[in-house]
Structure 1
């Protein structure tokens, strides 16, 4: 038996709890960087190494481990996928379903544990909050993945990886109940697109609002924004990319005192932890809708398979009509 899980903490907890079988931590971040139908694309590797500071050898070792897991599928009597409701996990889940849907499983049974809540945890962020004693019994609630789930996962991944964001909105017009958390996760993904109102995505909007309301420390901002947008499943390294991005361009929205280097995969400096972030005048105007971030600074951002670039003709999200449009 093989258990594929969403993070080291969950993997360690399952091992400590004495789960039967092997445990594989799926080390990917499909909510960051360029996404292609084949996520082993060289351009993705280049981006992730540069953006997050992940050592190339470590990144490539993770890809090799994942590839091997697919190639050895038939060696397992059962493969259990352990995921939760947020965008981080749902993108991993559909990536796996996409791969398993096109591979002959033979006699291997494919099962799923996927939850969106747990008694006593509010808000529920994910499986990593649970102790071994709480996690292990969830294995008894797993269900065998059905052809409809595999089909839906394949179509969802292809829509997410498409260079045309309308593929995703078209996908959401169908019945997605076979994967019950996918619709809300994808709606959160679409909210990451720049708004038609001021060019801010939901992460940038939440950050500027937190600064306006008095928060100013990087770790405090991360906690406030990640709690508010828990459906993203956003980690700290990904958030630092958003925060640093708002300090760049001809008209920065934020400033840091003192000027610090943002953390990467390697380490977080004490100077960064004690820095203070402030909302600049331009940022305040953008927050009020008096200025537009993209008009001022342009954009260079990957969301799934879509590359948002430049200052004109950029795909934006209209929250009121829940549609994408170019502006």
Structure 2
């Protein structure tokens, strides 16, 4: 299905789809089909292209979104005194446009990157602040102040009255959800979760931030109470993620967890950031090198767009996160990628494979044998030249001595 056939923000214009169905009917008739096509046939095909089993199902969804936008029912649910939690500020503006009046809080610590260990709060926040300031070239004191504020509010989640966590299915969001729930010592009376991995009519769902305000209003009634099973699973997963060994995490990732159904797929994706047994690359690195090898020299920003738009199986990175993950491949000595025209903003700088980059991509060299920077996946550290954990094609951790 072409992007033109799909909404990117979840808002489907029914009149536009009716017009497309009529145009399709004319094309079908001109093609001289054996059986005379009808408007119903064309409408069915349009609905199928948008991911619906029938035209009535498509129309019912559009009507439901329109109704939610006109009758959000926020007051009846005490939304004005609700705190909305998100792992970023991407929906803050859209919530306001949709008519939400509650307070907005966020935790933007990218837990899918850098060291994440089970440490006392002060040391944990110091480690995270140090990593983020280095990875994103930010002032460490400013990062520390922001973290102190965000984590202080998060610690109050269990006593904060009505709170709602907005999450999608990728590793960035699921790790935020794990962290938020694992920090609770009891099940709050009024903590709810909105969790989504796809939106009807959206061809490639990247995240909640891409959705129209009306669609956020449609999602609101779909929230569910956080319960003891969710808390227990989150605590178990958080400790496994913080462990030096990824073995327990891999065991959880192989399971099926009805209380948090998107957790295991997100953990499976995060395990793929461990070095692959063949080349030592994470999946993010491998997909990026493959595209540069096919299309390079190619602008840095185009590589990110290709990854998020097509190749990444469970998109979770922002552009600055992607840039930070790629720097060790560029700045290492030796390097896997050559970056030219460095006077330009980084998204415009062309990238090309080095000789070592091609060797690694072909499995003729192993990247951690040449890397100069350590890499963390949760509590698992990959130090250059030292024994470390890898991941095989079956997502089973393997020790490389």
Whether these two folds match at TM > 0.5 is yes
- Identify the match of residue 124 of structure 1 among 201, 205, 216: 205
* Residue aligned with 2:331, SS: coil
Could you say if the C-alpha distance between residues 65 and 184 of structure 1 is closer, same or farther in structure 2, counting changes exceeding 3 Å?
same
What residue in structure 2 maps to residue 196 of structure 1? 277
Q: How does 1:200-279 map to 2 (within 5 A)?
A: 200-215=281-296, 216-227=298-309, 228-229=311-312, 231-259=314-342, 270-279=344-353
Is the contact made by 2:333 and 2:372 (CA closer than 8 Å) also made in structure 1?
no
Aligned residues: 314
How far 1:65 sits from its partner (Å)?
2.6
Measure the CA separation in 2 of the matches of 1:56 and 1:146: 37
Judging by fraction of residues, say which structure has more helix: 2
What residue in structure 2 maps to residue 49 of structure 1? 133
Corresponding position: 1:294 with 2:375: no
Is the contact made by 1:211 and 1:278 (CA closer than 8 Å) also made in structure 2?
yes
Q: Deviations over 1:242-290 (max 9, x none)?
A: 2221123333111111346xxxxxxxxx443432111112111111112
How far 1:171 sits from its partner (Å)?
2.8
Measure the CA separation in 1 of the matches of 2:371 and 2:152: 43
Root-mean-square deviation (CA, aligned residues, Å) is: 2.0
Measure the CA separation in 2 of the matches of 1:241 and 1:302: 13
Q: Deviations over 1:18-52 (max 9, x none)?
A: 21421112221101111022565122221111111
* Residue aligned with 1:310, SS: coil
Mark the structure with the bigger radius of gyration.
Answer: 2
Point out where structure 2 has 5 or more consecutive residues left out of the alignment: 1-81
How far 1:74 sits from its partner (Å)?
6.0
Measure the CA separation in 1 of the matches of 2:154 and 2:317: 26
Measure the CA separation in 2 of the matches of 1:71 and 1:148: 20
Q: Deviations over 1:73-131 (max 9, x none)?
A: 4664311100100000000001001012x1573xx411000000001212100100111
What residue in structure 1 maps to residue 36 of structure 2? none
Measure the CA separation in 2 of the matches of 1:231 and 1:67: 26
What residue in structure 2 maps to residue 314 of structure 1? 388
Point out where structure 1 has 5 or more consecutive residues left out of the alignment: 261-269
Could you say if the C-alpha distance between residues 184 and 147 of structure 1 is closer, same or farther in structure 2, counting changes exceeding 3 Å?
same
Q: Deviations over 1:164-191 (max 9, x none)?
A: 2112123335542211111111111111
Q: Deviations over 1:136-193 (max 9, x none)?
A: 2211110111110111011111111111211212333554221111111111111111
TM-score (norm: length of structure 1): 0.89
Measure the CA separation in 2 of the matches of 1:134 and 1:52: 32
